[in-house]
Structure 1
Amino acid sequence: MAEQVAGARRGTVEKRQALLRGARTVFGREGYARAGIDEIAAEAGVSTRTLYNHFGGKENLFRETLLDSAATVTAAHVTLIERHLGKVTDIEADLRALAREWMGRRGEHADHMLLVRQVVAEGPHLPGDVVDAWQRTGPLAVREAVREAFVRLGAEGLLAVDEGNSGEAARYFTLLIAGSVTVDTFFGAVPMGGDEIDARVESGVRVFLRLFAGSGDAGSR
């Protein structure tokens, strides 16, 4: 009996994950308004009844898909931040390494970027507070992880950052290393060469350190 219950739960989880994957693909390709329930169910390999049983309808499915995708990308970014800024010996080199890997792994989240493009395009027409919820789960959560790391590095004298200006520092850093690439590629829709991305990352880190380098910074200013 216990094995049957466990098997049923696994099946439920697997169907939910299949629906989220299918919805991410269809919403990313078609947008919220054009995506159809039948199309999403077919992409996921389940029935429309299963979709409704799990999510109730398109609006909630879109919200859950976007938030699930954002949480996955946020977790990946937090891991990068912890790995590169957990123990810093050369602030410029470590920030550069973080920024390069951050931008270099964008392709791993291509399906999420498709979703984000649809959010930007359809924002005024999306259901309820979905954009705010996405911001809290995704971009703002990542920026908070950067902010917390910068406060710690400020306490170590590696950055001129404290609680008072940490939010500003995190905002500048994310904009300087990712903002122009994101905008100029239309969230990944238009290719940009690796050399150009590296050049923008290098420039972004240099400008950031001109603003926020600490007394213990061992890198160039």
Structure 2
Amino acid sequence: MTREDKRRAILAGALTVFARDGYTRASIDAIARTAEVSTRTIYNHFADKAELFQAVIQESANRAADAQIAVIDRHLRKVTELEADLVDFGRALAAPADAGHAEHFALVRQINAEAGHIPQAAIDAWQETGPLRVRRELAGYLRRWTEQGLLSAEDPDRAAVHLLLLISAGNPSYQGADPTGAEIDRTVTFGVRAFLYGYLDRPAQ
């Protein structure tokens, strides 16, 4: 096994352990067993658990963000009917295919549960690599639609937060739940309608 192979094994094993046990309870010994390497090998790559955790969350967040940005670009690059296209986008973001990132979202839930015990540098790295990058991509489309007169979003970044929050309730990976397809569709549809109620560009009365 090459040095790079060992690093990949460590990161994969650490993701599994951190997602299952959280940051505080996860141990280097458990990570070593899961990755099938020695603890010495882990310390040859990472100075301590904090550095390993930051590397794990950055890599995992980057993969999840890449997948979400691909969904954004695929569904929003060409909009013909705003509500229908946003609903399709929301459904795709909440689709079962996103279960490929189930460990990442389990890790995010662990971070939210014990944020006070996790190094701030790791939280900042996760936010910048994942959620903020996705938000900026979505905000770019909302800004463009505002310029075209389709929306009235004075602050596209804040509007992107609102849209993601309204539709993310339909994503079982985010919540650790397992709603039916009909429940996801209903949540996404009503979330999009609530968003458009606040942000549609309406003529002045």
| Residue pairs, 1:1-221, within 5 angstroms | 11-104=2-95, 105-161=97-153, 164-178=154-168, 180-181=169-170, 187-214=174-201
Question: In 1, distance between residues paired with 2:68 and 2:18?
Answer: 23
CA distances 1:119-170 after superposition (whole Å, capped 9, x unpaired): 0111101124222221222212211111011111222222223xx4212211
| Higher CA-based Rg | 1
Question: In 1, distance between residues paired with 2:74 and 2:104?
Answer: 23
What letter corresponds to residue 195 of structure 1 in structure 2?
Answer: A
Range with bigger deviation, 165-174 or 189-198: 189-198
Question: In 2, distance between residues paired with 1:95 and 1:128?
Answer: 34
What letter corresponds to residue 203 of structure 1 in structure 2?
Answer: F
TM-score normalised to structure 2 length: 0.90
**Displacement of 1:181 after TM fit?**
4.2
CA distances 1:153-199 after superposition (whole Å, capped 9, x unpaired): 222222223xx421221111011111x346xx694333222211110
Q: Which runs of 5+ in 1 are unaligned?
A: 1-7, 216-221
Question: In 1, distance between residues paired with 2:91 and 2:137?
Answer: 17
Aligned-pair RMSD on alpha carbons?
1.9
What letter corresponds to residue 170 of structure 1 in structure 2?
Answer: A
Aligned length: 201
What letter corresponds to residue 131 of structure 1 in structure 2?
Answer: I
On the 8 A contact 1:117/1:186 being kept in 2, the answer is no
Question: In 1, distance between residues paired with 2:67 and 2:141?
Answer: 15
What letter corresponds to residue 55 of structure 1 in structure 2?
Answer: F
Range with bigger deviation, 18-27 or 146-155: 146-155
What letter corresponds to residue 80 of structure 2 in structure 1?
Answer: T
Question: In 1, distance between residues paired with 2:175 and 2:201?
Answer: 34
Q: Which runs of 5+ in 2 are unaligned?
A: none
On the 8 A contact 2:69/2:137 being kept in 1, the answer is yes
CA distances 1:57-95 after superposition (whole Å, capped 9, x unpaired): 211001110111111111111111111111111111211
Question: In 2, distance between residues paired with 1:144 and 1:99?
Answer: 17
Question: In 1, distance between residues paired with 2:131 and 2:173?
Answer: 16
